[in-house]
Structure 1
Amino acid sequence: MNIKHILPSDIEKESFRIIKSELEEAGRTLPEELEPTIIRVIHTTADFEYANTLMFSDNVIEKAKDAIRRGAHIVTDTNMALSGISKKTLAKYGGEVHCFMADEEVAIEAKQRQVTRAYVSMEKAAKIDAPLIFAIGNAPTALVKLWELMNDETANFRPELIIGVPVGFVNVVEAKELIINSNVPFIVNRGRKGGSGVAAAICNSILYNIN
């Protein structure tokens, strides 16, 4: 077995090259505007199935970039995703990243109402006075709450983008389908796969490619 000597600064570039090469060998051609996102997710997971299961609404990448240029904030449902999203890059455009899962008031209210903290977190996040992008990598209940808010005429709530990639077995598939069938721009991974790392990778693929 031959171990390649690669400079640390070149590892990601070489990984992307390998991914593109293997996709080409499999006869898989990616749409130009979606390629950076799909490849970064595959790079994060080493799972080529994402090339087939990631779903994108029409013109969603450009819509997301426009929202970020207008100072969009990103809300996520895990501190892991919060750590992984490039806050420095987002800050260049006036945006911030938020996660309310550890918020004491959220925890108390969730316990009182017997709902998840993610569910209550979305209610709190919806009050942020800025364009909003939601990056959900863990909790399907967050997607359910976002769907409820979007369908509540009194809420006057419409995110710029919902990234719906929770991982798991209970209500995960169903919650993702709610977002796919909504009228909001979305990036969703169909099926059970996903996770906080995937949510962060999707955000970064957009942030790193804004011209």
Structure 2
Amino acid sequence: MQQNTITEQMTQAGQKIEHDSFAIVDQEVGTHHYSVDEWNIVRRMIHATADFEFNGLTRFHPDSVSAGLSAISLGANIVADVEMICVGLSKPRLSHFGVSTHHFISDADVITQAKAENSTRAVQAMRKAQRLGLLQNSIVAVGNAPTALLEVIRMINEENLRPALIVGMPVGFVSAAESKTETALLNDIPWIVTEGRKGGSTLVVAAIHALLALAEQANK
């Protein structure tokens, strides 16, 4: 199997550290029920957090990996709930596939509308993305705001929104677990979620970087 180049660390030293870390995760994880591609995603999530509980807490729609790889190969938009995800994703890796990132959580009009409707910025940010035509066939990336995820689910059910993939991993205590449970009930829209309260933008970035690596390997 050929070595990836675009989705690897930029120096040999960095590559060795990352590969050694992956080997340690493989050695210490014990058993898991994931497919090879799914494990590549979960392993990178564990690597990013040093938390082995994501072996088991991470769930996949049956079509999630193939849908993610297809979306990346087509240069899909990534619409994130927070800027942290967009900052964390590697720009050279994204640009190799023609993938763009978008977030609207801090836009003035989003804040104004959230105050006017007594909703959240995350809800209004996703509505703005929908108005701009960015959500259809996109990768929706949610690591912080459960209300963003719930709003996307509402648009799927009520407005026929069809994102390519949802990476739904909001962290927290209010509606975080519930929003991921609701996501996992979607049959026709592929998703990757973490169960319970655990999540975060770091996990979303790790999952998408793993998908980018798989996409590069698939194109060899």
| Residue 29 (structure 1) shift | 5.5
Distance apart, 1:91 and its partner CA: 2.2
| Aligned partner of residue 151 in structure 1, secondary structure | helix
Residue in 1 aligned with 2:166?
162
Output the TM-score relative to the length of structure 1: 0.91
Give, as a single letter, the amino acid of the residue that structure 1 aligns with 2:137: P
The 2-side partners of 1:27 and 1:182 are apart by 28
Number of the residue aligned with 2:201? 196
Q: Please name the residue that 1:143 is paired with.
A: 149
Q: TM-score, normalised by structure 2?
A: 0.87
Instruction: Give the AA of the match of 2:203.
Output: V
Please give the alpha-carbon distance, in whole angstroms, between the structure 1 residues aligned to 2:32 and 2:98.
Answer: 37
- Distance in 1 between residues matched to 2:117 and 2:70, nearest whole Å: 37
Partner of 1:105: 109
| Structure 1 contact 137–167 (Cα < 8 Å) conserved | yes
Query: What residue in structure 2 maps to residue 176 of structure 1?
Result: 180
8 Å contact 1:106–1:121 — kept in the other structure? yes
In structure 2, the CA distance between the partners of 1:141 and 1:29, relative to structure 1 (3 Å rule), is closer
Aligned residue among 43, 46, 51 for 1:42: 46
SS in 2 for 1:188: strand
Among all aligned residue pairs of Structure 1 and Structure 2, give the percentage whose two residues are the same amino acid: 37
Match of 1:3 in 2: none
Number of residue pairs the alignment of both structures matches? 202
Q: Match of 1:97, SS?
A: strand
CA pair 33-71 structure 1, distance change in 2 beyond 3 A: same
Which structure dedicates a bigger proportion of its chain to helix? 2
Distance across 1 between alignment mates of 2:61 and 2:25: 24
| Cα root mean square deviation, aligned | 1.6
Q: C-alpha deviations, 1:162-209, integer Å up to 9, x for none?
A: 111000000111111111001310000000000010111111110122
Unaligned runs of 5+ in 2: 1-11
Given that 1:87 and 1:97 are in contact with CA atoms closer than 8 Å, whether structure 2 keeps it comes out as: no
Could you tell me which residue of structure 1 aligns to residue 139 of structure 2?
A: 133
Contact 1:71-1:131 at 8 Å conserved across structures: no
Q: 2:173, 2:24 → 1: CA distance?
A: 31
